[in-house]
Amino acid sequence: MSMPFYVSPEQIMKDKSDFARKGIARGRSVLAMQYADGIVFVGENPNGALHKISEIYDRIAFAAVGKYNEFENLRVGGVRYADTRGYQYDRRDVTSRGLANIYAQTLGTIFTESGKPYEVELVVAEVGDNQAEDQMYRLTYDGSVAEEHGFIVMGGNSDPIASYVRERHDPKASLATALKLSVAALVQPVTDGSEARTIAGDDLEAAVLDRTRPRRAFKRLVGAPLQKLLEAKK
Amino acid sequence: MAEVPGLHGRLPAHFTTPGTSSFADFLGVAAPDLLPSRRRDLPAGLIEAPHGTTIVAVTHSNGVIMAGDRRATMGNIIAQRDIEKVFPADEYSCVGIAGTAGLAIEMVRLFQVELEHYEKLEGATLSLEGKANRLSTMIRGNLGMAMQGLAVVPLFAGYDLDMGAGRIFSYDVTGGRYEEHSFHSVGSGSVFARSALKKQFKDDVDEAAAVRLCVDALYDAADDDSATGGPDLTRKIFPVVMTVTADGLRRIPDDEIGAVVQTVVDERMTNPGG
């Protein structure tokens, strides 16, 4: 009987991490950002039918980068979890904290127990009655979870985008301003110094969690209303 | 209940299994005891529970109106005088309930989640007929209870975006679904309400006229049926009235309904038959 080669746990985890990071880095970035009335999500997504940004519950949204079938799986699980809890208890008992926890446990288990980790990175965000009560969680492929404030950038070219936004982000800005900043950030050149790109309007996926909307805060921004916001002066 | 995770533990496999977009079907796998239709049969014998009474619906040139009185009865007792029996189902439809209030309200909750769940998972809303059929299935699931006297008979109305018109669907206790034209009413006072609507309905009524028709019909139902509550001017308890048009669903505010109710009552002072 042959003995399997010994591979240290450190090496296994490192290989899995490298694999997941590479997968995530291949995709286009998605950005979530606080503005005066809520949280805006913007991503580059040439595929209009397969969303990276979606509604989970009344005040909670989900955004993801990476492998579509994997984060779609998690999205469906999240909607089912939220609707079941809301039906079993009350709509107010569905929280982004609970959902982030579930996602963290799920991603963590998949990372350690299965041969191939999920190549995804997620944001779970919730708008509160005022900006201080907004919550944004970033979840990575290994089940790490971090609560962040202001904005979150995920996906391929995230470092230049994040530093561009960090210098300019204003949480009290209007939706139009936040949206324009997001689009400007997404076209930031990769660190190798190449030119900034442009994104065609059709390739943009955008949505908001707007705290001023009754009950369901999530709204997709598409077509003419999106164009109007992008062209608005201030 | 072990199947629904709390704050700890990962999502069980059935949460991420692709397949159904129906919330009720999913609950059947994840937590069947939360489904009304999976409940064990009751022991024999009559149960006294609050009953909801009269609901009316009228189509108009821009959509459809649904209205319900505010009374729930338990035998000869008024169980509640300000119950609400007309609910939004989603952005373009509403549902009114008659029959056993507790079971009906639970059914409406499940129906609301069902429609929203489908919309979130599929990224598209069900057609109006699709929604009406889902409700049918849920009523059929309650047949066991209905046989023991705990029937639920909803009335469903909505704006059909494909046809560009308001439509009304009625049901029987076995889940039979029937499309109604122009107007309909369910519940204990429905005989009187429907007769009132039949005499007064004209094609192409506008929204305001349809609201007036509904308030009149509920007044007539309360006039002849002790289980239907008339407008309560002293406590300012007025019928719940919802309108569904191409712009979506809107509950008409109490002050607007109060004004219509006041007019109806004033006119009945001199002409009690309306």
B53 is catalytic: yes
| Distance separating alpha carbons of residues B32 and B197, to the nearest angstrom | 42
Q: What is the mean pLDDT of residues B201-215?
A: 95
Query: Does B15 contact A85 at a Cβ distance shorter than 8 Å?
Result: no
Minimal-distance CA residue of chain B relative to A98: B7
Query: Which of A74, A77, A88 has the CB atom closest to B4's CB atom?
Result: A88
Q: Chain B partners of A108 at a C-beta cutoff of 8 Å?
A: 10
Q: What is the mean pLDDT of residues B209-218?
A: 97
Q: What is the pLDDT of residue B3?
A: 53
Q: Chain B partners of A98 at a C-beta cutoff of 8 Å?
A: 7
| Residues making up chain B, counted from first to last | 274
Query: Which of B15, B23, B34 has the CB atom closest to A77's CB atom?
Result: B15
Query: Does B117 contact A83 at a Cβ distance shorter than 8 Å?
Result: yes
For B33-59, the pLDDT digits (tens) are: 888 887 776 777 777 889 988 999 999
In one-letter notation, the amino acid at residue B127 is: S
Query: Does B34 contact A87 at a Cβ distance shorter than 8 Å?
Result: yes
Query: Which of A51, A80, A88 has the CB atom closest to B34's CB atom?
Result: A88
Identify the active-site residue in B53, B54, B59, B73: B53
Beta bridge partners of B171: B177
Minimal-distance CA residue of chain B relative to A90: B109
Query: Which of B4, B16, B116 has the CB atom closest to A73's CB atom?
Result: B16
Chain B contact for A28 (CB, 8 A cutoff): no
How close A210 gets to chain B, by Cα (Å)?
A: 17
| Distance separating alpha carbons of residues A212 and A230, to the nearest angstrom | 20
Query: Does A109 contact B10 at a Cβ distance shorter than 8 Å?
Result: yes
Which residues, 6 or more positions from B170, have their beta carbon under 8 angstroms from its beta carbon? B155, B156, B177, B178, B180, B184, B186
Burial-class residue A23 by CB neighbours within 10 Å (0-12, 13-18, 19+): buried
Chain A contact for B27 (CB, 8 A cutoff): yes
Residue B7 confidence (pLDDT) above 70: no
Minimal-distance CA residue of chain B relative to A58: B116
For B67-81, the pLDDT digits (tens) are: 999 999 999 999 999
Residue B154 confidence (pLDDT) above 70: yes
Chain centroid to CA B54: 10
Which domains are present in chain A?
26-231 (3.60.20.10)
Chain B contact for A56 (CB, 8 A cutoff): yes
pTM of the predicted model as reported, rounded to 2 decimal places: 0.92
Q: Which residue has the higher pLDDT, B47 or B178?
A: B178
Q: Strand A60-66 vs strand B72-74: parallel, antiparallel, or unpaired? A: unpaired
Chain B contact for A36 (CB, 8 A cutoff): no
DSSP class per residue in B192-211: HHHHHHHHH--TT--HHHHH
Per-window interface: B 115-144 vs A, CB < 8 A: 116-117, 120-121, 123
Q: What is the pLDDT of residue B2?
A: 43
pLDDT tens, residue order, chain A (234 aa): 677 788 898 999 999 999 999 999 888 899 999 999 999 999 998 887 899 999 999 999 999 999 999 999 999 999 999 999 999 999 999 999 999 999 999 999 999 998 899 999 999 999 999 999 999 999 999 999 999 999 999 988 888 999 999 999 999 999 999 999 999 999 887 665 566 677 777 789 999 999 999 889 999 999 888 999 998 875
Q: What is the pLDDT of residue B1?
A: 41
Query: Which of B10, B109, B116 has the CB atom closest to A105's CB atom?
Result: B10
Query: Does B16 contact A76 at a Cβ distance shorter than 8 Å?
Result: yes
Chain B contact for A109 (CB, 8 A cutoff): yes
Using H for helix, E for strand and C for coil, what is the string for chain A? CCCCCCCCHHHHHHHHHHHHHHHHHHCCCEEEEEECCEEEEEEECCCCCCCCEEEEECCEEEEEEECHHHHHHHHHHHHHHHHHHHHHCCHHHCCHHHHHHHHHHHHHHHHHHCCCCCCEEEEEEECCCCHHHCEEEEECCCCCEEEECCEEEECCCHHHHHHHHHHHCCCCCCHHHHHHHHHHHHCCCCCCCCCCCCCCHHHEEEEEEECCCCCCCEEEECHHHHHHHHHCCC
Query: Does B7 contact A83 at a Cβ distance shorter than 8 Å?
Result: no
